[in-house]
Amino acid sequence: MLNIALIGSGVIAQFHLRALAKLKTARAAAVCDVRPDVAQKTAAEFNVPRWTANAAELLADPGIDAVILALPANLRTALALEAFRHGKHVLTEKPVAMNAAEVRTMIAAQGDRVGAVASSRYHYFASARAATAFLRTGALGPLRTITCRGVNPAGPPFKNPPAWRLRKDLNGGGIFVNWGCYDLDYLFGLLDFKLTPQFALARTWQAGAPYASYTAPGSDGETHIAALVTFAEGCVLTYERAEFSTLPPDNRWQITGERGTLTLQMLKAKSANIVLTEPDAEKGTRTRVIWEGDESELTTEHDGVAADFVEAILQKRKPQTSLQNALLFARVADAVYASSATGKPVAFD
């Protein structure tokens, strides 16, 4: 029975606590929050035997095997480094860190401990497993484009939007690190993270005047991004994400090769189809369903993260998204933000 401590007791920590409660091989042994009343309330609500406002106390405790860092990105790297120093396994919330340099410091410090990242959430659906298995056959041929467009029109204004969500100093950026980490973890992960980025060109925009009230005071992160990234393997990523916008809804994830296009559903949908468009000698092209099902009621994305983390520790294997895997997204994010700031293409090191 692994003893896991939750550091940070906000909304996302509660998902992790519910997921841990379903496991027979691990338990939530402690919760921590700088707000003692929140830590105490969370511990009572989830029957966690211990609470504290002092993270260092848990990190130094030899009875704690692993920690889940469920607090803003600007605080996580220092805690992860201290956790690794004390021999703990670490699951960090998304985005993995503030920048790629921080990810590299964590990789250098982890030793033989598991370092996992919660941006893997959408890999635990049967649809994602089916898409991964299909892509590993090489049936698409040499890859050409990886496409993601996730845009939605603005709904009613948020009530009390969290301060960290669109703050560069707290979260490293805006919607790209909030949702792009999921999008690209999903797409890159389907391809086993075997991509070598070369150049990035991007533009970002903050919330426009009609939607200024949708963001917390002090927000300086983007709510709309468009980007293009080239890879040494010969393919190109085209990416757009927007919230608080007038754009009509369009959510699609596609991977195109010389011999076919796979159209995917990352988010839970009632018809979460994986559809292949391929050449046809008579009609030119034809489509067929690779996988079809209803995943709209599943909670796999939250349960899967905790379960995979625990299994990776017990089985001494890599998690679905390791720190090394997540470094690819962090590098892309660094280049995308640098390109947006300068208005010029950026080369990867």
pLDDT (tens digit, 9 = 90+) per residue, 267-310?
888 887 899 999 999 999 999 999 999 998 887 788 999 999 99
What is the gyration radius of the CA atoms in the chain, in angstroms?
Answer: 20
CA–CA distance, 3 with 25 (Å, rounded to integer): 9
pTM summary value: 0.95
**Confidence label for 161 from pLDDT (cuts 50, 70 and 90):** confident
How much is the pLDDT for 15?
Answer: 95
How much is the pLDDT for 297?
Answer: 82
pLDDT tens string 167-187: 999 999 999 999 999 999 999
How much is the pLDDT for 129?
Answer: 95
Share of the chain above pLDDT 70, in %: 100
How much is the pLDDT for 339?
Answer: 98
How much is the pLDDT for 95?
Answer: 96
Query: Which domains are seen in the chain, by residue range?
Result: 2-121+302-321 (3.40.50.720), 123-297+329-347 (3.30.360.10)
Identify whether the C-beta of residue 260 lies closer than 8 Å to the C-beta of residue 171: no
Q: Which residue has the tokens 């949908």?
A: 269
CA–CA distance, 45 with 34 (Å, rounded to integer): 18
Over residues 250-262, mean pLDDT: 96
Lowest-confidence pick of 50-64, 90-104, 162-176, 194-208: 162-176
> Peptide bond before 95: cis, by omega within 30 degrees of 0?
yes
How much is the pLDDT for 316?
Answer: 97
How much is the pLDDT for 42?
Answer: 97
How much is the pLDDT for 302?
Answer: 85
The chain-wide mean pLDDT, for the chain, equals 95
